[in-house]
Structure 1
Amino acid sequence: MKDGFLKAAAAAPKIRVADPAWNALEICKALDSCYAQRAKLIVLPELCLTGYTCQDLFLQERLLEESLEGLQAVLEHTKGHDALTFVGLPLEKDGKLYNVAAAVQDGRILGLVPKQNIPNYGEFYEVRHFAAGSREVSEVDVLGQTVPFGGNLLFSCRNLKGLVVGCELCEDVWVMDPPSTALAKAGATVIVNLSASNETVGKDTYRKSLIAATSARLLCSYVYASAGDGESTQDLVFSGHHMIAENGSVLAEAARFENETIFSELDVHKICHERRRMSTFVPENTEHCVRIGFTLEKEETRLTRTFVQTPFVPSDEALKKERCEQILSIQAHGLKKRYEHTGAQTAVIGVSGGLDSTLALLVTARAFDLLGKSRSDIIAVTMPCFGTTNRTYENACRLAQTLGAKLVEVNIREAVQVHFRDIGQDMEKHDVTYENGQARERTQVLMDLANQSNGLVIGTGDMSELALGWATYNGDHMSMYGVNVGVPKTLVRHLVAYCADTCSENEKVLCEVLLDVLDTPVSPELLPPEDGKISQKTEDLVGPYELHDFFLYQLLRCGFGPAKIYRLACRAFEGIYSKETIGKWLKTFCRRFFAQQFKRSCLPDGPKVGSVAVSPRGDLRMPSDASRMAWQKELDQLPE
């Protein structure tokens, strides 16, 4: 439960149709396997105490009595266990039969939730046996307990902030207005579904998309357990297709036809953060709901779910290619609109032979193609100075030439030397003034060339640099339109690689240049080279960008604090970076992120391309002088 994680399980015991005593024993075995994995929320299938396929046997008094005896056996088995467990059974109330989910914990029935939408189409004939449940809560006496009965039950955890569980059954999620919508509006962060969904060709695909979409629409976790082996195959087959989803992503999915139990950890705090930031998620008056409190034993949930190292970059190759093409189109169309609006004639780009300026030049070429403008109106400016190496210089020149841009060289060594003489800067003192003086001179050159040619200066800096403040204020920090402002460094690399992979047969030279750019260490090249090679490697100074992009995503997209980010990073990068290394760079990230907000507060325009952005006009409204001390408290507790 530490950091808001809750281990959930979905299981389907191998049942016998119409044999509640046997089924209760199998349910208890399934519960034991869940207890062994420290599951705190366990969901079993619809009508699992009797079997979903009993048909007219549901009307037999003997089956209903046996079902209650089976529930009593399950209750006895749960004594001493704090897991909140949902078990399906038929239950008679006021002369009518209901298909219900019993929420049980530690030998007690906390509540009974009836199925509200009773299907009577296709292969389903439930109306023959079951009445539709009401959302209104009443009471029913079951096994010596007076128990709340109704759809508007919310099971609220007393000692895990934000954990509120709502329940629906099978068909309920397939209808136009599912009960889960009202439950989520009333505060449920987790929805469980006890189901008996039979298999037909293609139904599994639709079912998976339905559960994932429901969890996304309701900003919730969703635990779905479906009937499996043991159900009657007289006319239907059930596969035990369990799923655990969270905010649109399927965290765990059972292999069909194997009666597999699945586990994953729900991130309750992440769900709460999503709801806080989504202004269109509007809670409703909860007076109609009955909250039932329960308590879980506090313990550190062992994580089994994975956390991708590069959250901005899809792991699936086909999706990655699709995403790269989409991002390049967003960037190019954003720039295209700026030219249509301003009537500017040229684009002026400082090309260094590095990743960021390479991507900016590729995007500008696309934009000019969209505009029907000649690429010769793209002025690619190389500005060698004290730190420029032959490799990056040659790559910058070859890139401009192969793309059809106009290459202009402005050697800024003499201008910088004069400037340093004017301000009394020692040429041998390689400090921040030495570095930033070059960056600002380059920006001045670009701005003046743009004025000469009726052009716009195209910014090259990426979002990761802006998060860290790794940009010279009023230097490379400034432009007239920043095409990379919404692209993190890890994604910049994949975009350039995509462009290399999609080069045509006639673009072999371009492909070669792009591949060499990808192989070049990231550097601002502001310090003199050593033996002709880059001496100033950015990641040696501020840390690996793959770590910083991971930190950035977890901080801004998920709202996590340093301790939780550290925990997730240690799991994601296990075997790659030591815990000490992760802690060191996380401290660097947080320190720079807070200290450098003033640079982000006056960013040039540029397009947002993903779910995270740092523009002060969009995603990140943050005071430039905000204190980081609340975050520092957690950072100080990280291991050295």
Structure 2
Amino acid sequence: MKDGFLKAAALSPALRVADCGYNTDQILTQLRDCAQRGVKLAVFPEFCLTGYTCGDLFLQRTLQQGALEGLGRILEASAGLDLVALVGLPLMVRGKLYNCAAVVCRGQILGVVPKTYLPNYGEFYEKRQFTPGSCEVEQITLCGQEVPFGTSLLFRCRQLESFVLGVELCEDLWSALPPSTFHALAGATVIANLSASDETVGKAEYRRALVENQSARLLCGYIYASAAHGESTQDMVFAGHNLIAENGTLLAEALPFGGKIAETELDCQRLESERAKNTSFEPTSDGYVTVDFDLNLSETALTRWVDPAPFVPGDPARRAARCELILTMQADGLAKRMEHARAKKAVIGISGGLDSCLALLVAVRAMKQLGRPAADVLAVTMPCFGTTKRTRSNAEILCNELGVSFQEIDIARTVHSHFADIGQDESVLDVTFENGQARVRTLELMDLANRTGGLVVGTGDLSELALGWATYNGDHMSMYGVNAGVPKTLVRHLVRYEADAAGEGALQKVLLDILDTPVSPELLPAKDGEIAQKTEDLVGPYELHDFYLYYVLRFGFGPAKIFRLAKAAFAGRAEYPDEVLYKWLRNFYWRFFAQQFKRSCLPDGPKVGSVTLSPRGDWRMPSDASAALWLAELEQLPLHHSL
């Protein structure tokens, strides 16, 4: 449970209708197995102690008593198990019969939650035997314990306060206003649903969508355990379709008739983080009673998949659709700005590298959207001391293939003059040597845009902004930054997408060569005609930095948890042992804090994803904030002391 991870399981044990002893045996076997696997929350189906299809047998005292005896056995066994278990049973309370979920932990019944909505249509006749539950919480005596009973119950773990459990049963989810909505607003981060949903054609897809959407709407983890083999097949068939979702994402699924368990880890801290920044999620706990319980705060082995490229969809079809959407958003933003500014030209500094290539592709799309010729894009290459033949050639070929206007300005003479003005020794290849070139390039672009009635289109991407890998008032500045919301790992896929769309020919060839070119600002003299300055050798691999950036900005996780997630995501990658992950994570935090001043005065640019660094949008941070706390947390990791 450390770092907020809760191992949960949705189980569907085989049962016999009305055979409470047999059913209890099956539940106990699975419960003990769960405890051995480190499961902390085990959810069983609706009426798992009796079977859902008992019909009027539910009204028989013998069956009711059999269920109570089964609950007593589970209660006794749970005393030695470090988990919370939810089991379904019929329960007589003050002369009325209820369809209930009992919440059990370490020999204690934490509470009993009755079903709110009783289906009485189609194949369902629950109102024949049962009474709807009340939101009023009362005390009842059950198995010799005083137990809270009612729908307005929450269960909170003292050792992991972000784990707050709410409970509903089957039809409750399918209603217009599920009880889980109120549970979540009252503080529940995890919803358990004990269900007996029979299987019909098309129902699995609808059920899956319900669980995913409810978890997304409530910013919660949702565990759905459904009845399976052993229920009566007199008029229905039950398939054990078990699901676990987290904030709209399906994490685990036991397919219908597969006889499997859905098991994974929920990230309760992630859910808590989502709610903290969502001002539309307005908590209210009126009428709710919260029961606290204890579990051991142990390490949870991660089995859930941690995506090493969180900005890039793994599925090719989804990735292509995402690329098309982002390109369209970028182009639409630039088109609007061109219209508003009445700009005659879109002026872009083209280097032969990835970022300027993407900006150029976006500008061409924008012109097409505006019904203007591609020639209204003015691409300017500005070779200097570090420019290689490869990048210079690729820049020109790309511009010719796209049909944009192309101009070359050799800035070497201007840079020499500038260095003379400020007394820079050109043999000293320092930051002044590098930044002087970047600022001269920006000067040329800005003044050229003025002369042509144009607008300078920025090329820097989100990853560079996070690391501060941009020259202040150099390539850091533009009149509209189309790539400002696009991380470097995604830039590559956007260019690849356009290469695939280009078909075989010169355009595709040059795009592929640009993709194969090392990322570099080319501000240091080339060596034997090859790029001498490779960005990732200096600041670290962008796939690592994009991973760190995602979890820092999207969820506000601390360095220790991000390091743990990185180890899971990049496990098996020989180039990323723990010491490399640690080195670049430390470097990320140092640069991220030190370079905020550049992000505090960014030009306008379109937001395209959930993570952005615009000072007017998603990210507001003091330019002089200290990184001391974050670096200190990193230094507490065992790895730090072994380096």
Pair 1:542 & 2:575 matched: no
Alpha-carbon distance in 1 for matches of 2:373, 2:289: 68
* 1:374 aligned partner: 373
> Where in structure 1 do 4 or more consecutive aligned residues deviate above 2 Å?
none
* 2:502 aligned partner: 503
Cα deviations by residue, 1:54-108 (Å, 9 ceiling, x for unpaired): 1111111111111111111111111111311100001111111110000001122
1:230-379 aligned at under 5 Å gives the runs 230-284=230-284, 286-379=285-378
* 2:431 aligned partner: 432
* 1:68 aligned partner: 68
8 Å CA contact retained: 2:35, 2:82: no
Structure 1 residue 340 displacement after superposition: 1.1
Pair 1:57 & 2:40 matched: no
Cα deviations by residue, 1:384-420 (Å, 9 ceiling, x for unpaired): 0010011111000001111111110000111111111
Alpha-carbon distance in 1 for matches of 2:199, 2:219: 28
RMSD of aligned C-alpha atoms? 0.9
Alpha-carbon distance in 2 for matches of 1:584, 1:632: 11
Aligned length: 637
- 1:502 match: secondary structure: helix
Cα deviations by residue, 1:562-597 (Å, 9 ceiling, x for unpaired): 000000001101122100000000000000000000
- 1:53 match: secondary structure: helix
8 Å CA contact retained: 1:191, 1:223: yes
Q: For structure 1, list consecutive stretches of 5 or more residues without a partner in the other structure.
A: none
Bigger mean CA deviation after superposition, 151-160 or 485-494: 151-160
Given candidates 559, 569, 572, the residue that maps to 2:569 is 572
Q: AA paired with 1:348?
A: V
1:401-550 aligned at under 5 Å gives the runs 401-504=400-503, 508-550=505-547
Pair 1:182 & 2:179 matched: no
Pair 1:155 & 2:139 matched: no
Structure 1 residue 259 displacement after superposition: 2.4
Q: AA paired with 1:324?
A: C
* 2:47 aligned partner: 47
Alpha-carbon distance in 2 for matches of 1:89, 1:598: 61
Q: AA paired with 1:560?
A: F
* 2:624 aligned partner: 625
1:197-236 aligned at under 5 Å gives the runs 197-236=197-236
8 Å CA contact retained: 2:164, 2:190: yes
Structure 1 residue 504 displacement after superposition: 4.3
Pair 1:167 & 2:167 matched: yes
Alpha-carbon distance in 1 for matches of 2:558, 2:158: 22
Alpha-carbon distance in 2 for matches of 1:68, 1:570: 46
Cα deviations by residue, 1:169-211 (Å, 9 ceiling, x for unpaired): 0000111111011111111111110001111111111111110
Bigger mean CA deviation after superposition, 574-583 or 461-470: 574-583
Alpha-carbon distance in 1 for matches of 2:22, 2:271: 38
Bigger mean CA deviation after superposition, 248-257 or 453-462: 248-257
* 1:29 aligned partner: 29
Structure 1 residue 156 displacement after superposition: 1.1
Alpha-carbon distance in 2 for matches of 1:452, 1:287: 65
- 2:206 match: secondary structure: helix
* 1:115 aligned partner: 115
* 2:549 aligned partner: 552
The percentage of aligned residue pairs carrying the same residue is 61
1:129-140 aligned at under 5 Å gives the runs 129-140=129-140
* 1:394 aligned partner: 393
8 Å CA contact retained: 1:118, 1:132: yes
- 1:589 match: secondary structure: helix
Structure 1 residue 261 displacement after superposition: 1.6
8 Å CA contact retained: 2:6, 2:40: yes
Q: AA paired with 1:370?
A: Q
8 Å CA contact retained: 1:11, 1:259: no
Q: For structure 2, list consecutive stretches of 5 or more residues without a partner in the other structure.
A: none
Cα deviations by residue, 1:549-569 (Å, 9 ceiling, x for unpaired): 000000000110000000000
Q: What TM-score comes out, normalization by structure 1 length?
A: 0.99
Alpha-carbon distance in 2 for matches of 1:207, 1:269: 26
Alpha-carbon distance in 2 for matches of 1:620, 1:59: 60
Alpha-carbon distance in 2 for matches of 1:174, 1:114: 16
Structure 1 residue 291 displacement after superposition: 0.9
8 Å CA contact retained: 1:563, 1:635: yes
